[in-house]
Amino acid sequence: MTEASAALPAAQATVVRKIDIGLQRRYRAERRFRAYGIVALSIGIACVVMLFSSIVSRGYTAFEQTRVTLLVDFDPKVIAPNGDRSPDAVMSGDAFRFDELISTALQKTLDIEPDDEDGLYDALDLLSKGSTPMLRKLIADKPSLIGTRSAVDFYATGDVDAFIKGTIHADVPESQRNIKDRHIKLIDRLENTGTMHLAFNTGLFTFGASSRPELAGVGVAAVGSFMMMLVVLTLSLPLGVAGSIYLEEFAPKNRWTDLIEVNINNLAAVPSIVYGMLGLAVFINFMHLPRSASLVGGLVLTLTTLPTIIITTRAALKAVPPSIREAGLGIGASKMQTVFHHVLPLAVPGILTGTIIGLAHALGETAPLLMIGMKAFVVNYPTTPFDPATSLPTQIFMWATEPERAFSERTSAAIMILLAFLLAMNSIAIILRRAFERRW
């Protein structure tokens, strides 16, 4: 600037000096400020990307699982030594006879000599310890199998699964890995014959809690979550909508309603763990409702969701223009009729959107559920809201602290499933909002 002005005639120089307001410096500052913004925004977005890629890259492998297909000889002499082929007979009696079926099948597949016990045990190490009960259940469900020879898919253990997927490396010293060299030889042979292969992991969606990763799934937890969501929906929607209608349409403006208003806004920001403690103290310790029941979980989540639903419902009611209310009142409808016939129907899309978003929050809520004991090892599907249940987020929490690699993979997969549900719910909410958005 100064150089340029020096070159100019004196008269003009004064003019230039007047408008010399440090433009270059100021524009540099402007660009810097802008760059800070871009950097901040990029970091924020990078966090989103990193979070998702971290979860997906860890979890996608869990959707496939290593299976071992064995040709099993359903020998009636072994299965039904006394000739009774009924499911009851199959389910009772010595469990070892089914081990024998598997051992025989393995010996045939891998050409293990009948007297080579170590070889057989090494091969059995590869199969999930849940294989025997599974085979037994299969036969009980389908007695026509007895006497035939058919292929059965067995689960490999979590360690074999991890080895196949390449998360346990063969170049690690043998003493530091669960899969020993002799196992690797067997695995190679099974893989080459196509006996051992990867297949879609249906168990992830249907099984419950298990200490064996290959038999653990989120099915039971998902049902628990679903039951809780039903409880939340049936309680919080009517309560929230009724409360909002009163506050928005009928309540006089006074200290009491002001207090309710402030109170609701604060409740929305109370840490969720506090709701869990309320649930523990009131529902379990005082009312003696069963611990770990989805009913109690639903009640607690109802309380956490209510403020959200009330706030969004009130906004939706507020968005209905007063002219609609005047029209109703003007032809002699009562206030109640005007609200229920005209205002509420128009607010429905907004209310639904808010409800879905509230439910999505409730679905991901973990801490309050830990308080009321929904961190239980639940193997069976709950059938009533009083049964012990667990939920998707608490299942994730329990798996997250398991050291085994196969559980870590499943934790990520369970998170992906949870996020998929949330994504679906939020998409529905967005679509609803777009479809019914009304400009007055």
Partner 1 sequence: MGPLTLIALIAGLSLFGFFLGRWKSIAMAGSGAPLHSRPNHYGSFVLVWTAVPALVVLTLLVIARPLILDQTIRSHLPSDIVTSGDVSLAISGVEQVADGLKAVTPDEYENIHLGVVSARRIFADHGIPLGGDVSPYQLTAAIAANDTERLITLTTTTAVVGALALGLFLAFIRIKPRLRARNSVERVVLTLLIAASTVAILTTVGIVLSLLFQALQFFSMVSPINFYFGTVWDPRFAAAGSSESGQFGILPLAWGTAYISLFALLVAVPIGLLSAIYMAEYASPKVRAISKPTLEILAGIPTIVYGFFALVTVGPMIRDYLALPLGLGNSGNNVVTAGVVMGIMIIPYVSSLSDDIITAVPRAMREGSLGLGATRSETIKRVVLPAALPGIVGAILLAASRAIGETMIVVLAAGVAANLSANPFAEMTTITVKIVNQLTGDLEFTSPQTLVAFALGITLFVITLGLNVIALTIVRKYREQYE
Partner 2 sequence: MSEVQTPAPFKTSRTPDAAPRPTKVLTRDVKVVYGQKQALHGVSIDIPEKSVTAFIGPSGCGKSTFLRCINRMNDTIVGARVDGTIELDGVSIWEPSLDVVELRARVGMVFQKPNPFPKSIFENVAYGPRIHGLARSKADLEEIVITSLQKASLYNEVKDRLDEPGTGLSGGQQQRLCIARAIAVSPEVILMDEPCSALDPIATAKVEELIDELRANYTIVIVTHSMQQAARVSQRTAFFHLGHLIEEGPTDHIFTNPLEQRTQDYITGRFG
CB of 223 to partner 1, least distance (A): 18
Note whether 394 and 369 are within 8 A (CB): yes
Q: Are 298 and 227 in contact (CB under 8 A)?
A: yes
Shortest distance, position 315 Cβ to partner 2, whole Å: 19
- Give Cα 414 distance to the centre of its chain: 5
Residues 417-436 touching partner 1, rule: CB under 8 A, are 418-419, 422, 426
Pick one of 326, 380, 427, 431: the residue that binds partner 2 (CB under 8 A): 326
Per DSSP (E only), the strands in 132-208 are 149-155, 196-200
Dist. CA 187–CA 159, nearest whole Å: 12
Distance CA 403, CA 406 (A): 9
Q: Taking CB under 8 A as the rule, does residue 333 contact partner 2?
A: yes
424 binds, among partner 1, partner 2, none (CB under 5 to 8 A by kind): none
Residue 323 C-beta: closest distance to partner 2, Å: 4
Q: If contact means CB under 5 to 8 A according to the sort of partner, which of partner 1, partner 2, none does residue 33 touch?
A: partner 1
User: CB neighbours (10 Å) of residue 321?
Assistant: 13
Question: Given the rule CB under 8 A, which of 80-88, 111-119, 125-133, 301-309 is the region that contacts partner 1?
Answer: 301-309
Q: Does 341 bind partner 2 (CB under 8 A)?
A: yes
Tell me whether residue 257 is exposed, middle or buried, using C-beta atoms within 10 angstroms of its C-beta: 0 to 12, 13 to 18, 19 or more. Answer: middle
CA–CA distances in Å: residue 251 to residues 246, 247, 255, 257, 260: 6, 5, 11, 7, 11
Ordered strands of the 149-155 beta sheet: 149-155, 64-73, 196-200
Cα-based angle 403, 406, 409 (whole degrees, multiple of 5): 100
Q: Is the dihedral angle over the CA atoms 105, 168, 411, 212 positive or is it negative?
A: positive
| Residue 33 sits in the site that holds partner 1 (CB under 8 A) | yes
Using CB under 8 A as the binding rule, whether residue 439 contacts partner 2 is answered as no
Q: Does 401 bind partner 1 (CB under 8 A)?
A: yes
Which region among 125-133, 188-196, 255-263, 347-355 touches partner 1 (by CB under 8 A)? 255-263
Q: What is the rounded CA–CA span in Å between residue 395 and residue 308?
A: 25
Indicate which of partner 2, partner 1, none lies near residue 325 (CB less than 5 to 8 Å, by partner kind).
Answer: partner 2
Which residue is it, tokens 């359903």? 74
29, interface contact from partner 2, partner 1, none, CB < 5-8 Å by kind: partner 1
The count of chain residues that interact with partner 1, using the rule CB under 8 A, is 87
Taking CB under 8 A as the criterion, the residue among 1, 270, 327, 420 binding partner 2 is 327
Tokens representing 399 are: 């798996």
How many residues sit in the footprint of partner 2 (CB under 8 A)?
Answer: 21
Choosing among partner 2, partner 1, none, which partner's interface includes residue 264 (Cβ < 5 to 8 Å by kind)? partner 1
- The smaller minimum CB distance to partner 1, of residues 120 and 362, is found at 362
Other C-beta atoms lying within 10 Å of the C-beta of residue 208: 23
16 contributes a contact to partner 1 by CB under 8 A: no
Q: Which listed range, 98-106, 173-181, 341-349, 369-377, lies at the site for partner 1 (CB under 8 A)?
A: 369-377
Binding residue (CB under 8 A) for partner 1 from 62, 140, 168, 396: 396
Choose from partner 2, partner 1, none: what does 397 bind? Cβ within 5-8 Å by kind: partner 1
- Burial level of 418, CB count in 10 A (0-12/13-18/19+)? buried
- Please, where are the H alpha helices in 149-293? 158-164, 181-192, 203-206, 219-245, 255-267, 272-279
Q: Which span (74-82, 147-155, 211-219, 237-245) binds partner 1, by CB under 8 A?
A: 237-245
CB atoms within 10 A of CB 288: 8
The residue among 303, 315, 423 whose CA lies nearest residue 362 is 303
Q: Binds 278, which of partner 1, partner 2, none (CB < 5 to 8 A, cut-off by type)?
A: partner 1
Does the footprint of partner 2 cover residue 337 (CB under 8 A)? yes
Q: Which stretch binds partner 1 (CB under 8 A): 148-156, 206-214, 268-276, 344-352?
A: 268-276
Output the DSSP codes for 324-374: HHHHHHHTT--HHHHIIIIIHHHHHHHHHHHHHHHHHHHHH--HHHHHTT-
Residue among 151 and 270 whose Cβ is closer to partner 1: 270
Residue ranges in 249-278 that form contacts with partner 2 under rule CB under 8 A? 252-253
Residues that bind partner 2 (CB under 8 A): 252-253, 321, 323-335, 337, 341-342, 346, 438
